[in-house]
Amino acid sequence: MADMTREQERNELHRAIWAMADELRGGWEFKSYVLGTMFYRYISENLTNYINAVEIEAGNADFDYAKLSDEEAEEARDGLIEEKGFFMLPSELFCNVRAR
């Protein structure tokens, strides 16, 4: 019985969120903007987490890719493109663009 109530509450919340999104969206342009921003944030965080994990595993516990200069990061461009398939300079990361 409790599972059914939780499921109903979750379904109602889901419907309410979609109703609000539909009201705000106003068209495909909004959806494209939001999805693009979400993807940009995801790849920024994915790359940062990947590089930070490699550095921490190598013993550099205080490393933070987002705080590196673009010049320092440039040295890893080719290797990261080969490993991850893409590369972003620290100044281009979502967190740094948002901070500016």
Write out pLDDT tens, residues 60-72: 999 999 999 999 9
> Closest by alpha carbon to 92, among 38, 39, 40?
40
Least confident span in 4-8, 20-24, 40-44, 46-50: 20-24
Helix (H, G, I), strand (E, B) or coil at 59: coil
Report whether 32 contacts 43 (CB < 8 A).
no
Report whether 52 contacts 65 (CB < 8 A).
yes
The pair of structure tokens assigned to 49 is 């987490």
Confidence band (pLDDT; 50, 70, 90) for 95? very high
Please give the helix or strand (H or E) that residue 17 lies within, else none.
helix 2-25
